[in-house]
Amino acid sequence: MHINTSRFAGKTAVVTGAASGIGAAIALRLISEGARVAGIDVAEDALKEMATQHDGAFFAAPADVTKESEVAAAVAAAAAEFGGIDIAFNVAGASRVGPIVDLDEADWDFTIDLVQKGVFLCTKHEARHIKEHGRGGAIVNVASLNAHIPMPYGSPYSTGKAGVEMFSKVAAVELSSSGIRVNSVLPGLVDTPLVAPVMAYEPARDMFLSRIPIARAATPEEIAGPCLYLASDDASYVTGTSLVVDGGWEVSNYPDLTTLGS
């Protein structure tokens, strides 16, 4: 997709999970629309490569989003580099799976720390910096359709993502007096390294696709577009909501009685 607008000209953004998949697509789309982007990720080499490719427009701020001292330092470095932060996208995520009766405490903690606490810590420090310049801004948190649709063996992921959706609503109410809008995006199946094992195993992929009316996975760019909309001036009256971007998956769970004939 060729995008050529200056919608975000002069804006500065923080994107977590910027080294891969949806986060990388958001970062690249922002740059193509005029923003300067600070990418936060644990994948330091990939961030440095992006900084080399987009000299001046991309700032590498390596950090683990589950560690407050690292998040605080990375967001402060981004604000210092750009002279402030206008918008932020909290995207970093992964999960460990297993049946509830066998799931280790460490696997529960890993997933909840990453998908839920990470979004809290990043929102906290991003909002502090956005508040500083007094011009307001926007934060977009990437949750998952699993906030609405339970994933068997994915109890910490589904629970954590439901928490991200509610956290974003609380943050929207708390931060509205500072002119900061907060929304979440709930993607369905997106073709990224995170779901490569599913996409590579045909029987599993076909089971997913049979539930999706659009009958394919989204590209990362198809999630980046709705995320950028929520951060743009077109969404100036949108806060505290969540946008499901799932090819119709959530609304497709009704028997197709027309196949019975008359």
Ligand X SMILES: NC(=O)c1ccc[n+]([C@@H]2O[C@H](COP(=O)([O-])OP(=O)(O)OC[C@H]3O[C@@H](n4cnc5c(N)ncnc54)[C@H](O)[C@@H]3O)[C@@H](O)[C@H]2O)c1
Range 48-86 burial, b when 16+ CB lie within 10 A, else e: eebbeebeebbbbbbbbbbbeebbbebbebbbeebebbb
Distances (CA, A) of 31 to 15, 35, 245: 11, 5, 22
Asked if 22 contacts 4 with a C-beta cutoff of 8 angstroms, the reply is no
Beta bridge mates, 14? 38, 88
Beta bridge mates, 141? 90, 184
Question: Which residue from 13, 14, 15, 19 is in contact with ligand X, where contact means CB under 6 A?
Answer: 19
Residue type, 36: R
- Applying CB under 6 A, the span of 19-27, 80-88, 96-104, 131-139 interacting with ligand X comes to 19-27
* Shortest spacing between CB 236 and ligand X, in angstroms: 25
- Applying CB under 6 A, the span of 29-37, 59-67, 76-84, 124-132 interacting with ligand X comes to 59-67
The closest of 121, 98, 100, 96 to 109, measured between CA atoms, is 96
Pairing mode, strands 137-142 and 242-245: unpaired
Q: Which is nearer to ligand X, 46 or 133 (CB)?
A: 46
* Shortest spacing between CB 230 and ligand X, in angstroms: 15
Tell me the three state secondary structure of residue 142: strand
Enzyme catalytic residues: 157
Asked if 118 contacts 165 with a C-beta cutoff of 8 angstroms, the reply is no
Asked if 130 contacts 86 with a C-beta cutoff of 8 angstroms, the reply is yes
Question: Which residue from 78, 91, 162, 243 is in contact with ligand X, where contact means CB under 6 A?
Answer: 91
Question: Which residue from 13, 121, 182, 189 is in contact with ligand X, where contact means CB under 6 A?
Answer: 189
- Residue 17 binds to ligand X (criterion: CB under 6 A): yes
- Residue 226 binds to ligand X (criterion: CB under 6 A): no
Q: Which is nearer to ligand X, 8 or 157 (CB)?
A: 157
- Residue 144 binds to ligand X (criterion: CB under 6 A): yes
* Shortest spacing between CB 25 and ligand X, in angstroms: 8
Question: Which residue from 13, 35, 87, 114 is in contact with ligand X, where contact means CB under 6 A?
Answer: 114
- Residue 156 binds to ligand X (criterion: CB under 6 A): no
Q: Which is nearer to ligand X, 74 or 180 (CB)?
A: 74
- Residue 155 binds to ligand X (criterion: CB under 6 A): no
Question: Which residue from 73, 195, 209, 238 is in contact with ligand X, where contact means CB under 6 A?
Answer: 195
# binding residues, ligand X (CB under 6 A): 27
Map the footprint of ligand X across residues 199-218, applying CB under 6 A.
none
- Residue 222 binds to ligand X (criterion: CB under 6 A): no
- Residue 93 binds to ligand X (criterion: CB under 6 A): yes
The closest of 67, 93, 62 to 185, measured between CA atoms, is 93
Torsion over CA: 164, 166, 167, 172 (sign): positive
**Cβ-based burial of 1 (10 A; exposed 0-12, middle 13-18, buried ≥19):** exposed
Contact residues for ligand X, defined by CB under 6 A? 16-17, 19-23, 41-43, 64-66, 91-94, 114, 142, 144, 187, 189-190, 192-195
